[in-house]
Each structure stands twice: as C-alpha cells, then as structure tokens.
Amino acid sequence: MKAIILAAGYATRLYPLTKDMPKALLNVGSKAILDHIMKNVLQIPVVDGVYIVTNEKFYQHFIDWKEDSSYSIPITIYNDGTTNNEDRLGALGDLKFVLDKGKISEEIIVLAGDNLMDFSLKDLYDFYKEVDNCCVCVKEIKPHEVPKMAIVLMDETNRVTDYEEKPKNPKSLLGAYAVYIYKKETLSLLDEYLQTGNNPDSPGNFPAWLYKRVPVYAYEFDGNCYDIGTHDAYAEVQELYKFK
C-alpha cells in the first residue's frame, strides 16, 4: 500500500502564517502537522512508500523537511507545477498527478495534509481488510458543521448508500472526512471521473461519484479529525496538542 498526502494548496485563509510556509509544515505542539500525519501512517504495517504532492511555491520547503527527517520509509515529494491558488490542479487533479507520475497501481490511502487525526489509521486499515472494499472515514457531526462537510448515509453493514458534498438539505449528520482507502482496481475510475468533466477540486467529490459504481464503506472512527482551515481551528489544535 502507498500513502498519498495532498499538500498542494495555498491555504490563503491562514495568511499571513501560510504566506511563506505550507500549512502542512506549520508546527502543532512539538512537531509539524505533517509529522503527526506520518506518525499515524506508519502504524499501517503494509505502507511501504509515502508520496507527498505540493506546488512550485512550497516544493523546496518539503524537500528540506524530508532531508531533515529520519523516517525509514521511502518518501517521494512531487511538485505539481502550479504557482498560485487560481491555477491549482485541485485535490483530485493532484491525486491523478501522483498516480501517473509514480506509476502507482496498488491500493492507496489518501490523506489531506492539513488534517490532524487522533484515531489510529491502523484501525481504519483493519476495517478496510474486513470489508475488502474502498473506505471513507466518517463521524457524527454537529449541525453547524454541515455546510463544510460531505454527508453520508450507510446501511447496517456500513456500506455507503448516499454521499453528498456540502448538501443544502442534509439527510443525516454523518460527516465524511478526507481520509480514504482505495482498492487498486478502483484507480482507473479516477481517470473516468476526471475525463468526463467532473469537479477535480474537493477530494470528497470522487467517493460521492464512486459509491454509485462500486461498493464504498464508511469507517466510523472513535476520536477526532481536525481540519486546520482557519486561524481559530489552528489555535484550537495548538491548545489540544501543546504537550504532544
């Protein structure tokens, strides 16, 4: 299994913090957000390579981070060639870029480079092996969180029966987070998704399209996943992780 970390955004909502520093490399507690993610990814024993996609503006920052790191697992940093928020490829465009550039044809775990998880990705992987199908992480959310979330419905086996990105009229309060595992057989469907003109931006748009074509299962995690998108969110995780 390969891990793909999407970190090619420009995080303009966090300016001036992210004007000259990628969000994934901001410190939370004693280490960078990316190091917290790496620590969790390495709990999955079958992950034998990590691919991080960034942009032209921040490429050297990630190269420097890699050179200063001591991870035993191979880490590959890709530059998607974009230089600003207007010409970005979008999360799914970047995922496709990594799959093509790395010639990846095996199962993958995909993570947003600005999400902090305090649940174990090993538990997600165990669930994935049990259901033997693509998976997305979900959790019950509060009503005020709905406008910025994908909302799912699932049956008694946890198979996704409805998946809608940022719905105006949510059918549940089960929110989907940007942590996914995809079977290798599914990767070619990302080509079909993009080639038919679908939205390349939010990573949740792909599973929202995919569940109608192949089984997708919802892993309901016990814990928290923090999307560090605003100054308030960053301040919150700083407080929560100040001793970690």
Measured in whole angstroms, the distance separating CA 77 from the mean position of its chain's CA atoms is 16
* Whole-number pLDDT of residue 155: 95
Q: Which fold has domain 2-240?
A: Spore Coat Polysaccharide Biosynthesis Protein SpsA; Chain A (3.90.550)
The pairing of strands 31-32 and 27-28 is: antiparallel
Mean pLDDT of the chain: 92
Phi-psi region of 69 (alpha: psi -120 to 50; beta: other; left: phi over 0): beta
Predicted TM-score (pTM) of this structure: 0.94
The mean-pLDDT minimum among 62-76, 87-101, 221-235 falls in 221-235
Percent of the chain with pLDDT over 90: 69
* 29: pLDDT strictly greater than 90: no
User: What is the rounded distance in angstroms from the CA atom of residue 202 to the CA atom of residue 200?
Assistant: 7
Whether the per-residue pLDDT at 243 is higher than 70: the answer is no
Q: Where are the domains of the chain?
A: 2-240
* Confidence class for position 244, pLDDT limits 50, 70, 90: low
Phi, psi of 235 (to 5 degrees): -65, -35
| pLDDT of 236 over the 90 cut | no
